[in-house]
Amino acid sequence: MPEVTYLEALRQGLREEMQRDERVFILGEDVGRYGGAFKVTDGFMAEFGDRRVIDTPISEAAIVGAAAGAAHLGMRPVAEMQFIDFISCAYDILTNYVATARYRANLACPIVVRGPCGGYVRGGPFHSQNPEAAFFHTPGLKIVCPATARDAKGLIKAAIRDDDPVLYFEHKYLYRRVKEQLPEDGDLVTPIGRARVAREGGDLSIVTYSAMVWKALEAAQTLEKEDGLRVEVLDLRTLLPMDDAAILATVRKTNRVMIVHEDTRTGGVAGEIAARINEAAFEWLDAPVLRVTAADTPLPYAPTLEDYVLPQTADIVAVARKLAAY
């Protein structure tokens, strides 16, 4: 089995879906001739032609709106946001038009909107965002956040095949840093809505997703070595719909839970997870549910500032120790 990067796995997934289903097409800024700002669609225009790989003007609302119109007629468009920060320009059309289409008008809208999210790359306030919380609150959307190369591929394939709109947030820090051996043949699909236990453990649980899975795993190693703690790491993979069963299972197993995300703290996904645990499994808890998140600031550029604002492995270790000792 060849080793492929997270980015290459995503690319493979996109390409395979375009090969197996003529209804799939890609639209976005610089996705065609240039092959995408991060080269996710490099070579696609040559392979699939300029009808199925469409370079658009700088118009996120039009990209998503046009994808929606095509989806109504049975197409399977994949819209790229060059950086996911720009998805906010399509917020109206995503939340008001796309997300409500099935409910209000019984109108299928199977689009995928994907793009690079996340920090740790010195990208500053507008090339580092994690916008999941802005959409997590919108019924009708699905949100996936792959952490591994396998899921980068498996979730893009599942997203394209899903009958509802899916936001696919790929972490740019992982693009070329994460590698995995993947089978060359076979149909690798990761089911939407299902979490994955990334590491088994019995003393405490870290519920997390996207790039933070790797920081959590790193922290778990440290905690095992230095403290003898067996830490379970749950990789959510999908935020909407959330895998409540998997979260409750780990709560019941370890009775101590912390949630880690790279997004800012107030109104973040962690708050919702904590509320669900509180409602459904309060009596299983031996400690309060704790959070490790970014500070509530725009993301600054300077390395000293960015590192201070974003969650670090040492933060996770420190909070885990507090949780274990409670």
Partner 1 sequence: MTAPDARRPATESSIAPPARGGPEASTTARPAAGRPAAARPAAAAGLPAGLSRAQLLELYYHMRLTRSLEERLTNLYRQGKVIGGLFRSLGQEADSVGTAYALDRSAGDMLSPLIRNLGSLLVMGARPVDVLRQYMAKATSPTRGRELNVHFGDLERGFIGQISHLGDMVPVMAGVTLTFRLRGERRVGMVYVGDGAMSTGAFHEGMNLAAVRRLPLVVVAENNGYAYSTTLERQTAVAELVQKRTAYGVPGERVDGNDVLAVYEAARRAVERARAGEGVTLLELVTYRRKGHAEHDDQHYVPRDELARWERNDPIARWAQRLTESRWADGDALAAEDARVAAELDEAVAEAEQEPLPEPATALTGVYADPARQDAPWYREVPRA
Whether the CA torsion 143, 173, 209, 86 is positive or negative: it is negative
Say if CB 173 and CB 120 are below 8 A apart: yes
Is 72 annotated as catalytic? no
Exactly one of 1, 73, 186, 187 binds partner 1 (CB under 8 A); which one? 73
Any contact of residue 102 with partner 1 (CB under 8 A)?
yes
Positions of E strands within the chain: 3-5, 24-28, 53-55, 76-80, 112-117, 142-144, 166-171, 179-181, 196-199, 204-208, 231-235, 238-240, 257-264, 290-294
Q: Which is nearer to partner 1, 57 or 228 (CB)?
A: 57
Quote the tokens at residue 291.
């959070």
Looking at residues 38 to 67 of the shown chain, list those that interact with partner 1 (rule: CB under 8 A).
51-52, 54, 56-57, 59-67
The helix-helix angle for 244-254 and 269-281 (nearest 10°) equals: 60
Looking at residues 129 to 158 of the shown chain, list those that interact with partner 1 (rule: CB under 8 A).
139-140, 142
Q: Which is nearer to partner 1, 75 or 285 (CB)?
A: 75
Q: Are strands 196-199 and 231-235 parallel, antiparallel or unpaired?
A: antiparallel
Report the alpha-carbon distance of residue 144 to residue 156 in Å, rounded: 9
Any contact of residue 278 with partner 1 (CB under 8 A)?
no
Minimum CB separation from partner 1 for residue 193, in Å?
Answer: 9
Report the alpha-carbon distance of residue 43 to residue 101 in Å, rounded: 33
> Which residue stretch of 34-42, 96-104, 148-156, 203-211 sits at the interface with partner 1 (rule: CB under 8 A)?
96-104
Size of the site for partner 1 (CB under 8 A): 43
Any contact of residue 108 with partner 1 (CB under 8 A)?
yes
> Which residue stretch of 36-44, 91-99, 281-289, 299-307 sits at the interface with partner 1 (rule: CB under 8 A)?
91-99
Any contact of residue 283 with partner 1 (CB under 8 A)?
no
Comparing C-alpha atoms, which of 168, 85, 92, 96 is closest to residue 131? Answer: 85
Give the catalytic positions in this structure: 127
Residues found near partner 1 in the complex (CB under 8 A): 25, 51-52, 54, 56-57, 59-75, 77, 92-93, 96-97, 100, 102-108, 139-140, 142, 162-164, 241
